Structure 1
Amino acid sequence: MTYYESTGHLLLTPVDREAPARTVRLRELGLGKRADPELDAFAARVARTLGAPHAGVNFVGEERQFFAGLHHGAGAAQAGYPARVLPRDHGYCPHVVVRRRALVLEDVRDFARFAGNAVVDGSGIRSYVGAPLTDRRGIVLGTVCAVDVVPRRWGTEGLGTVKALAAELVALVHRREDGHG
């Protein structure tokens, strides 16, 4: 579904009607407020598994995104990406959350909606793959994602891998919620 501002211009970040419920759920789970060493390690595993320089576990709130798990390769700090906190209109994870399904962008500049995103110019991100973290209540909490500074073909294998990693992370969140992890 495409959303437009009242002026008729295409919104680069989709309307997120589930944000209030997600914010409450993230608070219940204790997620999205602080860095988590276990999630940092998970993000590093995502990067290794997908062969990407950067990866994250991102929880999307009403006004901002918070990477509770974050991995960046050498030289990323100088580029300013990735950051733990981003406005909600930066990056591609908010699209995954609202769409409720994975997103693969082999070259973000090939898509008008994504080419104008602040992370393209600000940090040089050129490709993205991300999958939603959907909990047992059906709430999309955020994403597991990987990005690269060059265009790349993630392919169906990359898509399947990021979806499997997202399912694995949701299982971890549920174990923590149940007091088993």
Structure 2
Amino acid sequence: MTYDPIGRLLVTPVDKEAPARAKRLRGLGLGELADPALDAFARRLAEELGAPYAMVNFIDENRQFFAGLHTPAGTHRGTDLGAAAAGDRDARRFMARDHGYCPHVVVRRKALVLEDVCDYPRFAGNPVVDEIGIRSYLGAPLIDRTGVALGTVCVVDTEPRAWGRAGLDTIKAYAAELVEQIHRREDSRI
């Protein structure tokens, strides 16, 4: 656990799988470069769920990387996601591991639905609430054939959202689809 500068407890889960994940991501060639195909995947996910933000997020020991990113152009300038929306495509695709909810999904290895993050004290104090204005989150893990949770696919909104069962089923289906794409890509390199 860590503390932020104003003394709030930030409950970021301990991630014992991070070294194995980082090694697997390097082996797959993922987690360092923006990928136009993953940007298109994120855009399709955002459109399907009607969300302003969608990400394909790979997580190593220290940070998160949005290899696929969809944002509404020009919003939230000066923040990680807002800078990406403004056109700074690669430099601002990184986020600290203690920001956001994807690290929780990776450690839990289960989808996470937060219709209003402010309803959950554990999640309401996360820096993305104040810095970016995130109020709603829906994410699912990307668990590959080796059993490693590589990262997540997720959508977020600046308004509370009732994602419902349909939203949960959709995010899980997109996660499964992306894992299959990663496997096909890996198999084609062998």
What TM-score do you get using the length of structure 2 for normalisation?
0.88
Per-residue deviation, 1:80 = 2.0
Please tell me whether the aligned partners of residues 63 and 95 of structure 2 are also in contact (alpha carbons under 8 angstroms): yes
- Mapping of residues 153-172 of structure 1, within 5 Å: 153-172=162-181
Unaligned runs of 5+ in 2: 3-7, 82-91
Superposed structure 1 runs of 4+ greater than 2 Å apart: 74-77
Please tell me whether the aligned partners of residues 10 and 126 of structure 2 are also in contact (alpha carbons under 8 angstroms): no
Q: What is the CA–CA distance in structure 1 between the aligned matches of 2:107 and 2:119, rounded to whole Å?
A: 21
- Mapping of residues 114-133 of structure 1, within 5 Å: 114-133=123-142
Q: Which residue in the other structure is 1:109 paired with?
A: 118
Q: Which residue in the other structure is 2:35 paired with?
A: 36
Q: What is the CA–CA distance in structure 1 between the aligned matches of 2:51 and 2:188, rounded to whole Å?
A: 32
Per-residue deviation, 1:38 = 0.4
Q: Note the alpha carbon deviations across 1:44-63, whole angstroms, 9 max, x for none.
A: 00100110000000001000
Unaligned runs of 5+ in 1: none
Same amino acid, percent of matched pairs: 66
**How many residues are aligned here?**
174
What TM-score do you get using the length of structure 1 for normalisation?
0.92
Please tell me whether the aligned partners of residues 53 and 71 of structure 2 are also in contact (alpha carbons under 8 angstroms): yes
Q: What is the CA–CA distance in structure 1 between the aligned matches of 2:153 and 2:111, rounded to whole Å?
A: 9
- Mapping of residues 1-181 of structure 1, within 5 Å: 12-78=11-77, 80-82=79-81, 83-179=92-188
**Which secondary structure does the structure 2 equivalent of 1:114 belong to?**
helix
